[in-house]
Homo-oligomer: A and B are copies of this chain.
Amino acid sequence: MARDDDGGREDPAAAAASHLPLARFLPYRLSVLSNRISARIADLYERRFDLTLPEWRVMAVLGEAAADDRPMSAQEVAQRTAMDKVMVSRAVARLIAAGRVDRAVAADDRRRSVLTLTAEGRHIHDAVVPLAQAYERALLDRLSPRDRAALDRVLSSLEGVDLAPLGRDVAAFPPPGDGDSDTDAGPGNG
C-alpha cells in the first residue's frame, strides 16, 4: 500500500530506473568470464593430462606443499583449494587410483591422512605448471600494467571480505508485496 504501486501504467522514467542491464552487472560479468576461463582451462587439462580441475587444484597445492616439504591433510587441501571436503575426498580418490597421489596416515592422529604427490604426480605437476602460467600470462598480456596491478588490488580487496556483511544491509530490503513471509523459512517448499 505505502508502495508506489502503479496499476500497470508504465512511466518511461520509472521503467528505465527499474531495469537492470545484465550485461553491465558486475557479479554477472564476473561469473560469465570466470566460467569461460575455467571451462577453457579444464578442457586443456582434461585433454592433455586426463585431469579434472578439482584434481589439478589438489595437485597444485600438494606441489606447493612439497616445495616446502610440508605434507598436507585432506582438510588443509580443502581450505587451500576452496573446495569442500567431499570434493577433495573424491578428487584425491581419483588421483590415488591414477597413481598420482599417495596417502599415508598421520602418526599423531590416525584419522588424518597425509597426502603427497607420487613421482608420477610430480612429473605431471611439473608439466602442467608452465601451461597454467602461460595461460595466465596470455590473459594478463591483454591488460595494461596499470590495469594488471589494479586487478590484483581488486581481487585482494574482495577476497578478504566475508561477503555476508555485504548481504546484511542488502538483506534489510523488505520482501516484495505478497504476505508470504515464510519463504525465507524452512527448506520445505523452498
Query: Which residues of A come within 8 Å of B, CB atoms?
Result: 8, 15-16, 18-23, 25-38, 40-41, 43-44, 46-50, 57, 60-61, 63-64, 66-67, 80-82, 119, 123-127, 129-136, 138-140, 142-143, 146-147, 150-151, 153-155, 157-159, 161, 163-164, 166-167, 169-171, 173, 175-177, 183-184, 186, 189-190
What are 15 A-B contacts with C-beta separation under 8 Å? A20-B63, A30-B34, A33-B34, A33-B159, A37-B163, A48-B184, A50-B183, A134-B173, A135-B170, A138-B169, A142-B158, A142-B161, A146-B150, A147-B153, A147-B157
Q: Are A166 and B30 in contact (CB under 8 A)?
A: no
**In the complex, A133 Cα to B80 Cα: how many Å?**
31
Interface hub of A21, A36, A47, A133 (most chain B Cβ within 10 A): A47
As for how many copies of this chain the complex holds, the number is 2
B183/A123 in contact, CB under 8 A: no
A37–B30 touching, CB < 8 Å: yes
A34 to B183, CA, bound (A): 24
What residues of chain B lie closer than 8 Å to A167, measured between beta carbons? 40, 43-44, 135
Pairwise interchain contact B136-A27, C-beta atoms closer than 8 A: yes
B157 touches A143 (CB 8 A): yes
Known: A47-B183, A50-B183, A184-B47. A140 touches B26 (CB 8 A): yes
Q: Which chain B residue shows the least CB distance to A144?
A: B153
> Complex formed: what's the CA distance from A177 to B25 in Å?
44
Which of A25, A143, A159 has the largest count of B CB atoms less than 10 A from its CB?
A25
Contact A123 B177 (CB under 8 A): yes
* CB < 8 Å neighbour of A20 from B133, B142, B173: B133
Least CB distance, A127 to chain B, in whole angstroms? 4
